Amino acid sequence: MDLFIDYFSRVAGYNWWVVAIEIFSIALVVYWAIDFLEGTRGERLFRGVIFILISGVLILNLIVERFSFERLQYLYKGFLIAVLIIAVTAFQPEVRRALMRIGRTRFLSGTSRKLTQAAEELISAVCQLSLIKTGAIIVIEKRVALGEFIETGVRLDAIVNSELLRTIFYSGTALHDMAVIISNSRIVAARVQLPLAEADSVDGIELGSRHRAAVGLTSGCDAVVIVVSEETGIISVAVGGQLKRNISASGLEGYLVEAMD
């Protein structure tokens, strides 16, 4: 109790607007981190690190104040350094995506042209897969990170290329089964396993595994999923848990402009 009284007495000595700005800044950073990590395993890890830091500092301050355990305080500081190093290593994929997202800002030269080129390559690949009735499922990551699903597949780091996508989904390759994930205009993973929706979850229509996976994923995040039917060659797009079927090339372009912008 004395610790909290001492804390509030020291805070009272500062200008209220300075304290308000500092608290707002800290809250904004924490909110941004949780929002960016939402839907990934990194979110749970981040919450755990925050809990360890806050609870450790509070408990340790009470112990040190009452019993003067300086050596325990010294060991805890070393423990915090180790936790931060482990956290940086564990958050490596999320840190990389954050830096790539910063690099997508509009004032950087050539960004818009690269996004448009990626969309054109994707449309070309999907249309050709549709013509030859080759099954495919392509996920476009938006604001909600898909790190936990990327971890289930084979990691790639390649530009969005029509020939590469058609090669991946060719039935003779090792990566053709399951999904491809595109993030920041790059192919980041293939052979990714996605959650399946219920078989009759879309207006009573009986769906195949690819379409169910598209609906299942988009029900819980803001990703856009493109599906090419292996039986009919029909192109479908799943957004927000809803499946739109018989999408033309021009209709597909409309979805991609929003998803990859």
Q: Is residue 123 helix, strand or coil?
A: helix
In a domain, 95, yes or no: no
Listed residue (126, 136, 225, 221) closest to 182, CA to CA: 225
- Of the ranges 42-51, 70-79, 190-199, 212-221, which is most confident? 212-221
Please tell me the distance from the alpha carbon of residue 261 to that of residue 168, in angstroms, as a whole number.
Answer: 24
In a domain, 96, yes or no: no
Residues 83 and 116 in one domain: no
pTM attached to this predicted model: 0.58
The count of domains in the chain is: 2
pLDDT in tens, 234-258: 999 999 888 888 988 888 888 887 6
In a domain, 74, yes or no: yes
Residue 146 lies in domain: 108-259
Q: What is the DSSP letter of 196?
A: P
**Confidence class for position 105, pLDDT limits 50, 70, 90:** very low
Residues 136 and 239 in one domain: yes
In a domain, 99, yes or no: no
Query: What is the structure's pLDDT at 101?
Result: 55
